[in-house]
């Protein structure tokens, strides 16, 4: 039999009290005093019981709703589940309980991830017209010798350089380098990057600090890993066929009699081995060229003289490939550099542009230069298709090439030469033109 719900019980209890009261009054007027007195006492007891029942019922509702509002889901309602008076209340309570456990689990996972990242992460939350610390990961706390405080004002006592810079920027988005002295040790340089995130319920400010040395170490590891992959690939490509052919030759030599066909196979095998050996020797020589780059012997050099020398050297090849090369530099400038090394870098870049125009009808290369803040920018620009997006980050890797006959060291060597002069080389794709930009300090 289905049990009655709360509102049905209250209705029946109220009807019973009214019935008792009316019956008692009727019996009292009819002269049945003692019976009427008994029903009157019963009515009073039923009223007390109804009050207690209502008080307990609504008290239970209040306690349950208060527990939900306080995110307290430790209560056990097993004894109350025998009836169905609180069915929907229990459903609501359990739904919030499951959601809280899910949020706690997600929060634990996110905090665990942030605490295992080797980058200082600090998240601020704007509350009551001030910033409070919403999260500080373990790396930030340990590396900067900072306790996990909850107030921005407390953090200022432990990381004055960081907090001062953030306040000077008025908590806006920042990307810069910052020098911080940690625990009276030597000053360290960090990359500081911040972002401001607004949600429906709050405003958050995320601060990330990365050690320059760690970034450099990571880049070096990536570079070495990529270099080892290329070297291993090249070595295996040459050594595997040489080993296979050597085994075949050994088997042939072990025979008692060699046929003309065997001799022909031996000649082809030796020729193939020689070809692969020559390729391997060229590869090693290219590696030596990269690894043993001489220190630049700087001397005063004219920019126009440097550019014209490269153009004169490239003219025969450009004419052969029907490429128009123009010098758009309309000023002269004196530089302290190794002319031979810098010519080699520029010629490598011009050669790279020349091959990128192979499939075009209208082939153009131009050289431009600008001066800004004691820096000279030299641009090699061509109207070629450019570098595909998926390999942009690989073009400066040693021995990486998209040409079958290419050695894959031209761009790497140019980059190394320019960096040896204290500058840098970058690739850009602008308005259907390819730019290789050299930056040199005056």
Domains of the chain: 1-116 (no CATH), 117-214 (3.30.450.20), 216-291 (1.10.287), 299-441 (3.30.565.10)
Across residues 241-261, what is the average pLDDT? Answer: 78
C-alpha span between 221 and 213 (Å, rounded):
12
C-alpha span between 411 and 430 (Å, rounded):
19
Query: pTM of the prediction?
Result: 0.43
pLDDT single digits (tens) 354-401: 888 878 888 899 999 998 878 899 999 998 877 777 777 677 766 666
Q: What share of the chain is helix, strand, coil (3-state, %, to 5)?
A: 55, 20, 25
- Residue position matching structure tokens 């017209």: 129
- What is the CB-side half-sphere exposure of residue 47 using CA atoms within 13 A? 10
Q: β-pairing, 203-211 with 299-302? A: unpaired
CA neighbor of 124 nearest in space, from 42, 213, 203: 203
The pLDDT, as a whole number, for residue 86 is: 67
Q: Where are the beta strands (DSSP E) in 247-363?
A: 299-302, 324-327, 334-337
Residue 168 backbone phi and psi in degrees, to 5: -65, -35
The pLDDT, as a whole number, for residue 293 is: 66
Provide the H-helix boundaries in 329-403.
339-356
The pLDDT, as a whole number, for residue 407 is: 57
The pLDDT, as a whole number, for residue 380 is: 92
- What is the CB-side half-sphere exposure of residue 128 using CA atoms within 13 A? 4
Q: By the 8 A CB rule, do 353 and 382 touch? A: yes
Phi and psi based region of residue 388 (left: phi greater than 0; alpha: psi -120 to 50; beta: remaining): beta
pLDDT single digits (tens) 155-195: 888 777 788 888 888 888 888 777 776 555 556 677 788 88
């Amino acid at each position: 039999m289905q049990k009655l719900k709360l509102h049905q019980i209250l209705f029946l209890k109220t009807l019973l009290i009214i019935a008792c009261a009316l019956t008692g009054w009727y019996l009292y007027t009819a002269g049945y005093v003692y019976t009427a007195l008994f029903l009157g006492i019963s009515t009073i007891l039923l009223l007390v019981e109804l009050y207690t029942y209502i008080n307990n019922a609504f008290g239970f509702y209040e306690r349950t709703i208060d527990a939900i509002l306080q995110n307290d889901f430790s209560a056990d309602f097993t004894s109350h589940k025998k009836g169905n008076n609180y069915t929907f209340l229990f459903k609501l309570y359990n739904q919030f309980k499951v959601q809280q456990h899910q949020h706690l689990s997600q929060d634990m996972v996110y905090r665990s991830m942030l605490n295992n990242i080797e980058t200082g992460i600090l998240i601020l939350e704007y509350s009551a017209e001030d910033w409070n610390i919403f999260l500080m990961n373990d790396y930030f706390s340990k590396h900067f010798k900072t306790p996990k405080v909850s107030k921005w004002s407390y953090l200022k006592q432990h990381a004055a350089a960081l907090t001062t810079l953030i306040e000077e920027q008025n908590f806006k988005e920042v990307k810069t380098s910052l020098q911080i002295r940690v625990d009276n040790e030597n000053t360290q340089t960090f990359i500081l990057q911040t972002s401001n995130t607004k949600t429906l319920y709050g405003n958050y400010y995320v601060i990330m600090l990365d050690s320059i040395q760690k970034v450099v170490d990571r880049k070096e590891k990536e570079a070495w890993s990529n270099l080892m992959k290329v070297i291993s690939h090249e070595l295996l490509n040459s050594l595997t066929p040489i080993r296979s052919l050597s085994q075949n030759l050994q088997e042939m030599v072990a025979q008692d009699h060699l046929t003309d066909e065997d001799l022909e196979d031996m000649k082809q095998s030796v020729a193939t081995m020689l070809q692969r050996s020559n390729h391997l020797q060229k590869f090693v020589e290219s590696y030596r060229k990269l690894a043993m780059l001489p220190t630049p012997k700087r001397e005063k050099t004219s920019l126009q003289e440097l550019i014209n020398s490269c153009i004169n050297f490239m003219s025969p090849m450009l004419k052969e490939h029907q490429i128009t090369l123009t010098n758009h530099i309309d000023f002269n400038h004196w530089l302290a550099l190794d002319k031979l090394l810098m010519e080699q870098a520029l010629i490598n870049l011009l050669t790279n542009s020349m091959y990128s125009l192979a499939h075009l009808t209208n082939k153009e290369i131009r050289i431009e230069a600008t001066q800004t803040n004691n820096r000279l920018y030299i641009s090699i620009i061509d109207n070629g298709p450019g570098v595909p997006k998926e390999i942009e980050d690989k073009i400066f890797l040693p021995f990486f090439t998209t040409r079958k006959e290419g050695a894959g060291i031209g761009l790497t060597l140019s980059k190394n030469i320019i960096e040896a002069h204290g500058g840098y080389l970058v690739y850009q794709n602008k308005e259907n033109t390819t730019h290789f930009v050299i930056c040199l300090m005056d």
